[in-house]
Amino acid sequence: MSATRTVQPDARLRTFANHEAMARGVGHWLLGVLEVRGGTCAVCLSGGSTPRRLYEVLAVPPLVTRFPWDDVHWFWGDERFVPSDHPDSNFRMVDEALLSIAPVPRENIHSIPTEGLPLAEAAAAYETALKRFYGEDRLDRARPLFDLTLLGLGEDGHIASLFPDDAALFEHERWVVAVERPGSEPRITLTYPALESSRTVAFLVAGTRKRDVLARARGHDIRRLPDFRAGVSHRHGEAANLEHRDVVLAVADRGDRRQRNAQQRGQPACRVALVGERMRNVEKMHSGVPLTDEDRRPWLNAIARWIDEERGAGRHGIVTCSALKRRYREILIGDRADVGLVYLKGDAPLIARRIATRHEHFMPASLLKSQFEALEEPG
């Protein structure tokens, strides 16, 4: 059995030109959903590569200054059973991209436990935590568990960690289960009853490799996507009933131009690192105050760790970073013989014109002078 079925034409479709446009568009839409809802809200997050840029967009101006951080509680739809600081951890990804940067109360973060308990007990513990937050042991269709659930769509059609032909697809009593599959880490996932219990469900789909499974699920050519009603097969073939929910599909239809061009040339596509400053740095720059060496050091070290992780995994990568001083570049490059520097040079008038075309960025043009004063050009 597949985790998806042919869906019906009812839900709202939002198509974006690329991944960046989707992240920004969905970010503003998500804020609007929570503002309309008001009060305490619960958001169920998706892991994987697609939503990361969305989380980064939420963590910087303008959205970070408008978001109701104190009122929003954060949950996860699934998690790999690895330590929270493991590179494959969904919690770590969200924490690095959003939670450690934005002013999120730590008591509002409800991550799936992956340490100190056996797999099955950890799944049961998260179900207990969900029920405690919800206030009941049984879900009421009239009172959803989540206000918003973000979901991805795997290349094989899986949603959260509910994979085709897995027994978890048939679970309709438990809210959370453990998933063990040959050749991969064990996982913990919410089941369909919990994922369905949401006022709004948003599927985020990006990249050319998702087109086939999306087209199969939709039953239509990707270029002629009508609005649809999301549905999934479970409970011994019964279709998930989301008719009482607001369902949105966000599609970045064109994929990533750099990746397509590299593939056409027969070259591996480079992975782009997007590492955000700590929230205090963002606020400081947004207020027009230049950063100091002490401000920059933590995120320079974070970028260096990311570089070493990518090198250790044998992956290519590109980091865009204003490494203005030689000692900054020493942190990033050091004795790494396989890491190089590309210096994009521009004079002050040119950079000022470029800054004038940027919208919703945290660095004001007034800081440009201090940037050039700090610059130590590569020799």
Containing structural domain, residue 236: 8-255
- Residue 170: its pLDDT value, please? 84
For residue 313, what pLDDT band results from cuts at 50, 70 and 90?
confident
- Residue 173: its pLDDT value, please? 94
Instruction: Identify whether the C-beta of residue 308 lies closer than 8 Å to the C-beta of residue 345.
Output: no
- Residue 228: its pLDDT value, please? 29
Structure tokens belonging to residue 84: 């929270």
Interior/surface letters 190-218, b for 16+ CB within 10 angstroms, e for the rest: bbbbbbbbbbbbbbbbbbeebbebbeebb
Structure tokens belonging to residue 287: 């207020």
Q: Residue 83: is its pLDDT beyond 90?
A: yes
The residue among 6, 3, 10, 18 whose CA lies nearest residue 252 is 18
Mean pLDDT of 46-74: 93
Residues 351 and 204 in one domain: no
Task: Check which CATH number belongs to the domain holding 146 and give it.
Answer: 3.40.50.1360
- Residue 76: its pLDDT value, please? 98
Listed residues 201, 226, 255: the one ending a domain: 255
Residues 192 and 47 in one domain: yes
Q: Residue 44: is its pLDDT beyond 70?
A: yes
- Residue 355: its pLDDT value, please? 81
Mean pLDDT of 222-231: 30
Cα(298)–Cα(310) distance, integer angstroms: 19
Q: Residue 232: is its pLDDT beyond 60?
A: no
Cα(65)–Cα(283) distance, integer angstroms: 9
Residues 23 and 98 in one domain: yes
Is residue 300 assigned to a domain? yes
Read off the pLDDT of residues 113-140 as tens digits, 9 standing for 90 and up: 999 999 999 999 999 999 999 999 999 9
Instruction: Identify whether the C-beta of residue 306 lies closer than 8 Å to the C-beta of residue 290.
Output: no
Listed residues 229, 255, 281: the one ending a domain: 255
Beta strands 146-151 and 198-206 are parallel
Cα(22)–Cα(19) distance, integer angstroms: 5
Calculate the alpha carbon distances from 120 to 75, 185, 189, 234, 268 in Å. 19, 14, 11, 21, 39
- Residue 87: its pLDDT value, please? 92
Residues 342 and 244 in one domain: no
Q: Residue 254: is its pLDDT beyond 50?
A: no
Q: Residue 47: is its pLDDT beyond 60?
A: yes
Residues 248 and 276 in one domain: no
- Residue 156: its pLDDT value, please? 73
- Residue 246: its pLDDT value, please? 61
Q: Residue 277: is its pLDDT beyond 50?
A: no
Cα(369)–Cα(348) distance, integer angstroms: 8
- Residue 317: its pLDDT value, please? 84
Q: Residue 106: is its pLDDT beyond 70?
A: yes
Residues 102 and 213 in one domain: yes
Which residues lie across from 76 on neighbouring strands?
A: 45
- Residue 15: its pLDDT value, please? 78
Q: Residue 328: is its pLDDT beyond 60?
A: yes
Instruction: Identify whether the C-beta of residue 177 lies closer than 8 Å to the C-beta of residue 191.
Output: yes
**128-132, 273-277, 301-305, 360-364: least confidently modelled range:** 273-277
Mean pLDDT taken over the chain: 79
Is residue 1 assigned to a domain? no
Contacts of 155 (CB under 8 A, 6+ apart): 209, 210, 212, 213
Q: Residue 242: is its pLDDT beyond 60?
A: no
Considering its fold, how many domains does the chain have in total?
2
- Residue 35: its pLDDT value, please? 92
The residue among 316, 195, 194, 305 whose CA lies nearest residue 258 is 316
Q: Residue 377: is its pLDDT beyond 70?
A: yes
Mean pLDDT of 144-164: 87
Percent of the chain scored above 90 by pLDDT?
40
Coil vs helix vs strand at 193: helix
Percent of the chain scored above 70 by pLDDT?
75
Mean pLDDT of 84-105: 95
Which alpha helices (H) appear in the chain, and where do they start and end?
19-37, 52-58, 63-66, 90-94, 119-134, 192-196, 211-218, 257-264, 279-286, 293-312, 326-332, 348-356, 368-374
Q: How many CB atoms lie within 10 A of CB 44?
A: 26
Is residue 296 assigned to a domain? yes
Is residue 3 assigned to a domain? no
Residues 122 and 221 in one domain: yes
For residue 199, what pLDDT band results from cuts at 50, 70 and 90?
very high
Residues 251 and 363 in one domain: no
Greater pLDDT, 160 or 357: 160
